[in-house]
Amino acid sequence: MKCSTLYRSLTLIIFAIVLITRGVAQAVRIPSTPDPLYQTISLQDKTLFDAYNRCDLEKLGSMVTDDLEFYHDKTGLAVGRQSFLDSIKKYICGKVMRELVPGTLEVYPLAGYGAVELGVHRFHHPGEQDHDVIGEAKFVTIWQNKNNGWKITRVISYDHAALPN
């Protein structure tokens, strides 16, 4: 089995487990006093989307792996850092801003690899009056901690829906 196929399979298995676990669980674990991993990934998320909102492609590129896989429920699979950056430049820069919905961030360790981040994010149009909300989506981000540096290897962005004005 090729490495990329194995990683895709692993990503989809993790995604399925997360969805099943969240559906079965009585309560979502969001620490009242965030642990160090939660704080680290929360900061990484903030740094990533500060760069996203400013269209800082250099910073964004430094935070993802060369073999990034980005699964999107509306546009399908995009593979590679450059594909990710090209999409951001074409469809996001100056057109869309993202914010994390407060209270939705969840972070779990992935032993010997890094962390999985889950949450809900909201998107807005800059330049529109009051940055009218255009929609929300759920996301799963796989972070790899390698050589004391965090990078995104896989993203699943799903359940995109427009919100009423």
10 belongs to a structural domain:
no
Give the whole-angstrom CA distance, residue 58 versus residue 43: 18
The length of the chain in residues reads 165
pLDDT in tens, 2-26: 555 555 555 555 554 544 445 444 3
CATH number at residue 96: 3.10.450.50
18 belongs to a structural domain:
no
Calculate ∠ Cα 100-102-107, nearest 5°.
Answer: 75
Which two structure tokens, joined as six digits, stand for 89? 């430049």
26 belongs to a structural domain:
no
44 belongs to a structural domain:
yes
pLDDT 10s per residue in the chain (165 long)?
A: 555 555 555 555 555 454 444 544 434 455 556 699 999 999 999 999 999 999 999 999 999 999 999 999 999 999 999 999 999 999 999 889 999 999 999 999 999 999 999 999 999 877 666 556 788 999 999 999 999 899 999 999 999 998 876
pTM of this prediction exceeds 0.85: no
In the chain, the number of structural domains is 1
